[in-house]
Structure 1
Amino acid sequence: MKKHLLFVMPGLAAGGGEKSLVNLLSQINYDLYDVDLFLLNHDGLFMEFVPKQVRVLPLSESYHLFTLPLLQSVKRFLLKGNLILAYNRFMYAIKNRTKKHTSIKEQYSWKHIEKSLDRLEKKYDAAVGFLEKTATYFCVDKVKAEKRIGWVHIDYDKLGMDPVFDSKYFKKLDTIVTVSEECANVLQNRFPAQKDKVDVIYNIVSSQTINRMAQINDENIYDKKEDEFVILSIGRLHYQKGFELAVAACKKLVDRGYNIQWNVIGEGEEREKLTCLIKENKLEKRFKLLGLQTNPYPYIQQADIYAQTSKFEGKSIAIDEAKILNKPIIVTNFSTAKDQIKNGEDGLIVEMDAEAVAEGIEELILNKELREKLVYNLSQLRLGTEKEIEKLYRILE
């Protein structure tokens, strides 16, 4: 008899957690599991990749009304005589305006937004909140399940969340999954009472799929000139990804006479800020924001160097993808960098400042022997993590 699983996610717009979920869903054995997916937003780059066997659950009318602009939402609730939701919509807006940190906003506005969400009628064998914060809170407050699993994709201490708020939710989870050993250590130190619940499942990436998709477009994507070095970064345009370091490093390399173009795949709230930085440094022809790309793999394939300038990460899927495509990689020394890169063996780890990033890229440009060594070492690794799904099956038993 099939087990009934529920996955909860805010949405499937571009992002590492979102891609990780789609990859995981593609590996599930649907002869054994019946899978529902609850999303707060049914638009997004990865929606088309949700397997056809997965049932996407509908959203309630009250939630649709809650997501309208403030005055429109409050008016609609008042016309329906729903004073409770009108009040909570107003308080949701207040919390989002008065709390400064994005993570804190999401945590403390949950008690207002959850009033617009129905408790799911179906009982599940297991419910998985596949992202920290809202997805986990929904699993605890709105789902009937034999097992509840939370999933943390980041170094918990770096995201600015209130652990006191999360503690009462983590107590009600059966398992807290995270994506690397370093992230697991952080969680166990932050929540010692829950340390035995913490388990590690690496992000699922398929080397076979990535290599196949990398060959789909063999045109000269970057309009690369013969003596030009192409650098690529992938990530949400967000403070976490440190793209201001990338712009500053690019400026230093251009000033030193290197013929480079630096491309970034991703979208986010820092686009305007980064566009201004690019313009201020006169890098419009050198540093390019490419937006979202459904298939980033030809871009990785045709790049000369992959660069990750993050301030913090859980376990970067983009780095794993660049490794699978055997690209020379340079990353900043965020707390989990050593979980993915052996410095000098399959990539370079540099300090988290623009000069160090520039010097690392300069070394890769000038030292062909080093580049070839990194590429060769990567080519000898077995990098697909499809078998990580077995760890989830074990937790679900």
Structure 2
Amino acid sequence: MHQKIKVLFRHRSMEMGGVERVLIDLLENLPRDLFDITFFLTLNQGELRSDIPKDIKVITFQKGKEDMSNNKLLRTFQLIKRNLTLLFYRKNPKLLYKNIIKGDFDIEIAPTYAEFDNILSSPLKSRKIAWFHTDVSYDPDQERVLSRINNLKKFDWVIFGSKQTRDVIKDLYQIEYPKSSVIYNAIKINDVRKKAEEFPVKYDLHPVFSSMGRLHSRKNYHTLMNIHKRLLDEGFLHSIAVIGGGGEMENLKKQAKELNVEKTFLLLDTQTNPYPYIKNSDYFVLPSESESYPLTIGEVMGLNIPIVSTNVGGIPEMIDHNTDGYLVNPDEDSIYQGMKLFLTNSEIPEKIKENTEKAVEKFDNQKIYNEVTKVFLSQYECS
């Protein structure tokens, strides 16, 4: 029997998010006859911890917030101790590998830019692979962008989550990555359809636009709320249901109160199973200023919900405009016009709904797993 290739994935924590869902999918589907996989989780934290496949070796480093004391003083002490420990080992990566990771690996993976420095500082003579999902054109911090895209050059191979993610770096910074490939994220449509039937969801006011994403300013939910108010004031009755948690929650709650839309702009927070909320809506709207290749678009298509989405990142690689979705610019007036079109011209969303039946054929998961496997094998052969 041939020796398996030893692969180490490193990631911070497992809060609900696109990267985390992609990670779990990869961990489930990479061939076990070829790879011996270890998953190093810096913080044992997040709703998706329990979804890590049971046959994967998991090394957890520090306690997550869920496992800390409810006593405020003790919890503060635990957090300070955790941060000091993380800082010490970040400055001493050889000790981390010697005392905590305790293994030799052929390949080490950074699934997101947050892990670039950790993987690049590894003392192992491993092949190092980075995943990059970020549209750098929307980051105003040039120093941070340059740090990330220059770090990418230090990896043995880079996997970009969409063609646009790689192209925009070339366009803006004239930097190319000859040792790279574009591999889309797998979208588990059958699983989504099954989960969407798990419980009923009833909305008080139809039609409903659902949306899903982390509550971050670049997701543009503050703009979506302004559009919602504008449409209501013009007599277009509807509601919006946003599934997701994050740092903008309090700002959005305050904004909803000021605009008096608390009963129609529903902030549903993070949901372990968000799909019944989407399945029971009439339309889906994605107002983001930047994206890479969002799983949500394929999942919503799989549920046959007509989509209005901003034309950013890798989204036009997923949606054929006015065929299986409707693309708009990432500004208030364009999103407003797209939503108003759905509310006033039922033929357009109905046509899109019909076309999503065929659109899901675009997402071939086995091809994606095969492409990732091929990259890992080629890198191992280079070692």
1:157 and 1:362 map into 2 onto residues whose CA distance is: 28
Q: Is the 8 Å Cα contact of residues 161 and 292 (structure 2) preserved in structure 1?
A: yes
Describe the shift of the 1:152–1:345 C-alpha distance in structure 2 as closer, same or farther (beyond 3 A): same
Describe the shift of the 1:157–1:114 C-alpha distance in structure 2 as closer, same or farther (beyond 3 A): farther
- Correspondence 1:125 to 2:103: no
Query: Structure 1 stretch 192-201 or stretch 319-328: which is displaced more?
Result: 192-201
1:216 and 1:75 map into 2 onto residues whose CA distance is: 41
Match 1:347 to one of 295, 314, 325: 325
Q: 1:114 matched to which residue of 2?
A: 90
Q: Is the 8 Å Cα contact of residues 130 and 159 (structure 2) preserved in structure 1?
A: yes
- Which letter does structure 1 place at the counterpart of 2:106? D
Deviation for aligned residue 1:229: 0.4
Report the secondary structure of 1:237's partner residue.
Answer: coil
Match 2:224 to one of 227, 241, 246: 246
Match 2:194 to one of 208, 212, 215: 212
1:71 and 1:380 map into 2 onto residues whose CA distance is: 53
Report the secondary structure of 2:289's partner residue.
Answer: coil
Q: 1:196 matched to which residue of 2?
A: 178
1:222 and 1:188 map into 2 onto residues whose CA distance is: 47
1:74 and 1:267 map into 2 onto residues whose CA distance is: 22
Q: 1:393 matched to which residue of 2?
A: 373
Q: Is the 8 Å Cα contact of residues 129 and 151 (structure 1) preserved in structure 2?
A: yes
- Correspondence 1:15 to 2:43: no
1:289 and 1:2 map into 2 onto residues whose CA distance is: 46
Deviation for aligned residue 1:60: 6.3
Q: Is the 8 Å Cα contact of residues 44 and 60 (structure 2) preserved in structure 1?
A: no
Match 2:4 to one of 2, 5, 9: 2
Q: 2:133 matched to which residue of 1?
A: 153
2:136 and 2:125 map into 1 onto residues whose CA distance is: 25
Match 1:138 to one of 110, 115, 118: 118
Q: How many residues align?
A: 359
Overall identity of the aligned pairs, in %: 25
Deviation for aligned residue 1:383: 4.1
- Which letter does structure 2 place at the counterpart of 1:254? L
Match 1:169 to one of 139, 151, 154: 151
Deviation for aligned residue 1:192: 5.4
Q: Is the 8 Å Cα contact of residues 30 and 373 (structure 2) preserved in structure 1?
A: no
Query: Structure 1 stretch 117-126 or stretch 165-174: which is displaced more?
Result: 165-174
Report the secondary structure of 1:196's partner residue.
Answer: coil
Deviation for aligned residue 1:166: 3.3
Report the secondary structure of 1:393's partner residue.
Answer: helix
Q: 2:363 matched to which residue of 1?
A: 384
Report the secondary structure of 1:216's partner residue.
Answer: coil
Deviation for aligned residue 1:114: 0.9
- Which letter does structure 1 place at the counterpart of 2:153? K
Report the secondary structure of 2:32's partner residue.
Answer: coil
Describe the shift of the 1:31–1:75 C-alpha distance in structure 2 as closer, same or farther (beyond 3 A): closer
Q: CA RMSD in A?
A: 2.8
Q: 1:46 matched to which residue of 2?
A: 48
2:18 and 2:126 map into 1 onto residues whose CA distance is: 28
2:81 and 2:41 map into 1 onto residues whose CA distance is: 23
- Which letter does structure 2 place at the counterpart of 1:196? P
Q: 1:181 matched to which residue of 2?
A: 163
Q: Which runs of 5+ in 2 are unaligned?
A: 68-72, 378-383
Q: Which runs of 5+ in 1 are unaligned?
A: 78-84, 93-111
Deviation for aligned residue 1:384: 3.5
Q: Is the 8 Å Cα contact of residues 128 and 150 (structure 1) preserved in structure 2?
A: yes
Describe the shift of the 1:377–1:370 C-alpha distance in structure 2 as closer, same or farther (beyond 3 A): same
Q: Is the 8 Å Cα contact of residues 252 and 355 (structure 1) preserved in structure 2?
A: no
2:156 and 2:312 map into 1 onto residues whose CA distance is: 29
- Which letter does structure 2 place at the counterpart of 1:17? V
Query: Structure 1 stretch 193-202 or stretch 304-313: which is displaced more?
Result: 193-202
Describe the shift of the 1:13–1:55 C-alpha distance in structure 2 as closer, same or farther (beyond 3 A): same
Deviation for aligned residue 1:158: 2.4
TM-score (norm 1): 0.83
Match 1:360 to one of 323, 338, 343: 338
Deviation for aligned residue 1:216: 1.6
Q: 1:24 matched to which residue of 2?
A: 26
Query: Structure 1 stretch 322-331 or stretch 39-48: which is displaced more?
Result: 39-48
1:198 and 1:186 map into 2 onto residues whose CA distance is: 14
Q: 1:326 matched to which residue of 2?
A: 304
